[in-house]
């Protein structure tokens, strides 16, 4: 469904991604992990179009999207959950969910999306997505906005970062629910062993290149290696 | 005065400034092209023309509840210059909504100018929601100028919420608002302004927190686009044990310019005054986030501005 070929990307004179080749099949749950600075978030942004590669091609559903804009990729069926949720002034949770789903959601539908991330619609729908919300609340709303899109490919950039304990415990459930509800693939950038353990494949990035691709069932220890300190919440 | 018919332009202006297509039941005063054309009163709300100058006196009986007052102004003739003096006397414990506003349609080449000089006197325990919208339109080169003056005097325990909106089409505006607050009274001002072309918008707020336990919250959200300029001047004087909070948020676009001039003065050791101001262009990450939801950059920007001014 998604194919990256020979992707290179550099910034500030430093090469961040080096000749990345990666294929993500339909209906797969792929975890991308690796040390800090290995290029994980950059790779996620390259897929969404937030960053443009210096060279290489990106194909999605058989179409070359290498030069497609962010919104064109979004409308083609790619969603992106930000590591640091964006805040606004005046835009409410309800607005974000409506924009994400491209329709005015009924309260029941909005409630369904929010309840998946443990938030009560009555408490949150009319609240502004601003800094009066906690980091954990913002993260949950970010995830709900991605869920509301229900696209073929969903990318989460470190969904566990900045999240509260409740949300982390339920993240796994959220991903499992998404796999049931949405006929698509999920790519999660993560350090967390619990998230890696439910992936169909784990892609280990190291110093900007794909070190190895580990299928489900293989020892996580071999993948995590030096990241052992990240294995506990 | 008899009921009057409004043409399409006038109805459209009324819709823009008051969300009504025409005359509605209840207390109502319509001013058109510099002249009063319709007045309706209720048993609790009396409207009388001033004898010494243009304008009206509005009297709301004590304990009046759940009534609206509409006092719109529409100007469709180019070159009209109109200053009107409206005084509002709100009785003890009354609770009303006052809808004001001015819409100008100027297709001519001469300037149209309207000044609404409004004074509010709220007695003890009274509560007023004052909604004022300004709007301009028309193909002419004549300017559409609105320079409102609002003076507010709040008695003990009185509360007033003032919501002013100028979204489009006003060439120039200088808004002057002054308030004096008594004991335990409260004033909330929410201002929303969007300017474009070469427009100018200035706002000058002066609030005197004279009463013990008085409070004010002034919030201004504005968007300055193209070559427009805005200036926000707020002066809050804490003259007693009181609380004052002034917040100015502005988005600038193109060559838009915004200046925010805070002045908070504490004349009492127990006064607590806060001023916040933030001016900047739309954050790139906000546009990126909305683009990941499928909006184009232009749609994202419009959505952010609409939300900001909502």
- pLDDT, tens digit (0-9, with 9 covering 90-100), for B119-160: 999 999 999 999 999 999 998 889 999 999 999 999 999 999
- Residue A225, pLDDT score: 59
- Whether B306 maps to a domain, the answer reads no
Quick: pLDDT tens for B77-109: 999 999 999 999 999 999 999 999 899 998 989
CB contact under 8 A, B293 and A86: no
CA trace torsion A74, A107, A122, B218 (10° rounding): 70
Tell whether B297 is covered by a domain.
no
Q: Is the pLDDT of residue A231 over 70?
A: no
Distance CA B70, CA B220 (A): 24
- Is B282 an interface residue toward A (CB < 8 Å)? no
Q: What integer pLDDT is reported at residue A210 of this predicted model?
A: 92
pLDDT tens sequence across A26-85: 999 999 999 988 999 999 999 999 999 999 999 999 999 999 999 999 999 999 999 999
- Is B188 inside any structural domain? yes
Q: Is residue B207 part of a domain?
A: yes
Residue B298 pLDDT? 96
CA–CA gap between residue A100 and residue B260 (Å, rounded): 35
Mutate to test the interface with A, among B289, B306, B309, B310 (most CBs of A within 10 A): B289
> Rounded to an integer, what distance in angstroms lies between the CA atom of residue B232 and that of residue B175?
10
What order do you get walking across the sheet with A14-24 strand by strand?
Answer: A14-24, A2-11, A55-60, A63-64
Mutate: best of A89, A102, A138, A141, partner B, most B CBs <10 A: A89
Calculate the average pLDDT of chain A.
89
pTM, 2 dp = 0.86
B302 inside 8 A of chain A by CB: no
Domain that holds residue B274: 8-282
Are the beta carbons of B292 and A75 separated by less than 8 Å? no
Whether residue B105 lies inside any domain: the answer is: yes
Into how many domains does chain B fold? Answer: 1
Residues of A in contact with B221 (CB under 8 A): 89-90
Instruction: Determine phi and psi for A232, rounding to 5 degrees.
Output: -110, 145
Assess if residue B182 is contained within a domain. yes
Residues of chain B with Cβ-Cβ distance to A80 below 8 Å are 292
Q: How far apart are CA B259 and CA B279, in angstroms?
A: 8
Per CB-CB distance under 8 Å, the chain A contacts of B285 are 86
Section B276-284 average pLDDT: 93
Q: Is B134 helix (H, G, I), strand (E, B) or coil?
A: strand
B285 near A CB under 8 A? yes
Is B78 inside any structural domain?
yes
Is the pLDDT at A230 greater than 80? The verdict is no
Closest Cα in chain B, distance from residue A230 (Å): 28
């Amino acid at each position: 469904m998604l194919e990256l070929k020979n992707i290179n990307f550099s910034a500030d004179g430093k090469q961040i991604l080096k000749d990345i080749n990666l294929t993500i099949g339909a209906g797969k749950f792929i975890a991308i992990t690796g040390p800090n600075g290995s290029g994980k978030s950059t790779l996620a942004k390259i897929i969404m179009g937030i960053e443009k590669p210096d060279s290489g091609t990106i194909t999605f559903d058989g179409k070359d999207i290498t030069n497609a804009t962010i919104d064109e990729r979004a409308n083609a069926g790619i969603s992106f959950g930000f590591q640091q949720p964006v805040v606004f002034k005046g835009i409410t949770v309800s607005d974000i969910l409506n924009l994400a789903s491209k329709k005015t959601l009924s309260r029941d539908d909005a409630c369904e999306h929010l309840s998946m991330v443990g938030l009560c619609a009555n408490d949150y729908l009319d609240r502004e997505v601003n800094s009066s919300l906690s980091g954990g609340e913002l993260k949950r709303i970010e995830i709900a906005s991605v869920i509301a899109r229900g696209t073929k490919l969903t990318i989460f950039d470190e969904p566990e970062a900045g999240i509260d304990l409740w949300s982390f415990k339920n993240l796994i459930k959220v991903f499992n629910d998404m796999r049931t509800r949405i006929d698509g693939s999920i790519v999660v950038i993560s350090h967390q062993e619990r998230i890696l353990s439910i992936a169909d494949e784990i892609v280990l990035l190291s110093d900007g290149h794909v070190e190895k691709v580990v299928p489900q069932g293989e020892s996580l220890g071999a993948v995590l290696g030096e990241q052992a300190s990240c294995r506990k919440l | 005065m008899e009921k009057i018919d409004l043409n399409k332009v006038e109805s459209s202006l009324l819709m823009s400034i008051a969300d009504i297509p025409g005359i509605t039941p209840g207390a109502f005063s319509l001013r058109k092209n510099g002249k009063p054309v319709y007045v309706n009163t209720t048993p609790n709300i009396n409207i009388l023309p001033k004898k010494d100058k243009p304008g009206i006196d509005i009297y709301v009986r004590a304990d009046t509840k759940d009534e609206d007052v509409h006092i719109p102004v529409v100007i469709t003739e180019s070159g009209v210059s109109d200053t009107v003096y409206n005084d509002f006397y709100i009785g003890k414990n009354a609770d009303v909504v006052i809808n004001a506003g001015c819409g100008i349609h100027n297709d001519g080449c001469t300037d149209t100018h309207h000044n609404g000089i409004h004074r509010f006197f709220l007695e003890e325990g009274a509560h007023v929601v004052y909604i004022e919208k300004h709007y301009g339109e028309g193909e002419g080169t004549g300017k559409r100028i609105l320079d409102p003056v609002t003076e507010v005097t709040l008695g003990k325990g009185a509360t007033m919420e003032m919501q002013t909106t100028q979204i489009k089409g006003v060439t120039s505006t200088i808004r002057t608002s002054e308030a004096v607050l008594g004991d335990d009274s409260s004033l909330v001002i929410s201002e929303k302004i969007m300017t474009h072309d070469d427009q100018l918008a200035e706002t000058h707020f002066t609030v005197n927190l004279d009463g013990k336990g008085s409070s004010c919250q002034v919030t201004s959200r504005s968007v300055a686009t193209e070559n427009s300029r805005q200036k926000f001047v707020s002066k809050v004087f804490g003259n007693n044990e009181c609380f004052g909070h002034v917040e100015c948020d502005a988005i600038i676009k193109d060559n838009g310019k915004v200046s925010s001039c805070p002045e908070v003065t504490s004349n009492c050791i127990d006064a607590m005054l806060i001023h916040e101001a933030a001016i900047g262009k739309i954050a790139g990450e906000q546009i990126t986030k909305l683009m990941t939801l499928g909006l184009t950059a232009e749609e994202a920007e419009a959505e952010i501005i609409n939300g900001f001014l909502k």
